[in-house]
Amino acid sequence: MAEDKVPAKDVAAVKKCEEAYNKVRDELSKVIVGQDEVIEQVLVAMFARGHALLEGVPGLAKTLLISSIAETLKLSFKRIQFTPDLMPSDVTGTDIIQESKGGDRAYKFLPGPIFANMILADEINRTPPKTQASMLEAMQERQVSAGGTVHTLPDPFFVLATQNPLEQEGTYPLPEAQLDRFLLYIKVDYPSGAEEWEIARRVTTGQLGGIKAVMTDKEIVDIQNLVTRVPVSDQVLGYAHALVRASRPGEEGAPDFVNKWLDWGAGPRGILTLVTCAKARALLYGRYHATVGDVDAVAKPALRHRIASNYAAHAEGKTNETLIDDLLAAVPASEKYSQPAA
């Protein structure tokens, strides 16, 4: 889109968004060493009005990262520690009987910790499926039903969940329906050698700095609304469309490795995620248009939980990560895309 066609208020809003992103990164760098890609992906999910799931082994500062982001964004924040004995009502709230001074009794809703702008669902895969499912309505509808009454959650509302790898003991795999509610599935890896050295130096000498808030809830909602106004070219939309359709076994034009190593590919929510997150990422870098590069950057967190590799892939040492790499290599970004005839 030509610059003269961009509304003046949006030009200013894009610049403000880029400045806010840089301020958030600067504040987080006081307590978080490295993890720039993880921080970017979490903010993309939030500005795209979605939820994010972070996975990594214990000790990689997943919890610290999320609580620090809440501090920089000046949001109400609640942490829910998921344990095997956690009940659904411990998350959403419950009705209690309250007696008035006159002796009358009536039910009163006692809100659970989910009533906050930002929820840290810590180690969400350590609680049974019944409690995990209690998050479904809140995440999708942004409301909680209790006692026949619907209670609206605050706006903005984000669930940022952490989980440990499923190979570890005492974990419960997230139901597919709930896994799909997470806009992005973010992997947190070990720090580099230099980053780990800096972590040890800062922590052991007490050199962790304090964080100050640099954004408000209203500014976040404004950015979310701006994301919806960012235009998408046919080329970017077509590339995302081609990636998603190429991930489906049996689809016309699907690469041979997809038919061989995948049980199923991404559904329509996959393309919605790719496009929306690409637009959100463009704003972080001060652009009012998304590019195929933005789609590539969000492809792994957007698709890794929306495709399913089979036993043949596992036997060959193939993972969802490597299969997405193969998919990106197989679908040309330079090809000219247009709306399909049917």
The CA distance from 274 to 294, in Å, is 9
Tell me the residue length of the chain: 342
Q: What is the pLDDT of residues 71-103, one digit of tens each?
A: 888 888 899 999 889 988 888 888 788 777 777
213 has a pLDDT exceeding 70: yes
CA–CA separation, 153 and 139 (whole Å): 10
SS3 annotation, 207-244:
CCCCCCCCCCHHHHHHHHHHHHHCCCCHHHHHHHHHHH
Nearest Cα residue to 238 out of 324, 335, 341, 330: 335
Q: What are phi and psi of 28, to 5 degrees?
A: -65, -30
Q: Is the pLDDT of residue 5 over 80?
A: no
In the numeric block, the tokens 């999910």 are attached to 45
Domain with CATH 1.10.8.80 in the chain: 230-330
- pLDDT(219) > 60: yes
What does pTM read for this prediction? 0.88
Report residue 315: phi and psi, to 5°: -65, -30
Beta bridge partners of 110: 94
Looking at residue 92, its amino acid is T
Q: CATH code for 9-217?
A: 3.40.50.300
CATH of domain 230-330: 1.10.8.80
Residue 148 has pLDDT above 70, yes or no: yes
- pLDDT at residue 234 in the model: 92
293-300 long-range contacts (CB < 8 A, ≥24 apart) are 294/236, 295/236, 295/239, 295/240, 295/243, 295/333, 296/328, 296/333, 298/41, 298/44, 298/184, 298/273, 298/274, 299/243, 299/274, 299/324, 299/327, 299/328, 300/187, 300/324
Does pLDDT of 169 surpass 70?
A: no
Q: How far apart are CA 21 and CA 43, in angstroms?
A: 8
- In contact, 78 and 113? CB cutoff 8 Å: yes
Return the ∠ at Cα 192 (arms to 188 and 194), rounded to 5°. 140
Q: Judge whether residue 1 has pLDDT over 60.
A: no
| Nearest to 286, CA basis, from 8, 75, 12 | 12
Separation CA 180–CA 177 (nearest Å): 5
Distance CA 109, CA 147 (A): 8
| SS3 at position 263 | strand
Q: Name the one residue in this structure whose structure tokens are 């490295």.
A: 34
pLDDT of 41 strictly over 90: yes
For every residue of 59-109, which 3-state class applies, written as one string? Answer: CCCHHHHHHHHHHHHCCCEEEEECCCCCCHHHHHEEEEEEECCCCCEEEEE
Helix or strand (DSSP H, E) at 151: strand 149-152
Q: Are 41 and 55 in contact (CB under 8 A)?
A: no
Looking up tokens 């007696």 gives 99
Residue 107 has φ and ψ, to the nearest 5°, of -80, 140
Which tens digits make up the pLDDT trace of 271-292? 999 999 999 999 999 999 999 9
Residues of the chain with CATH 3.40.50.300: 9-217
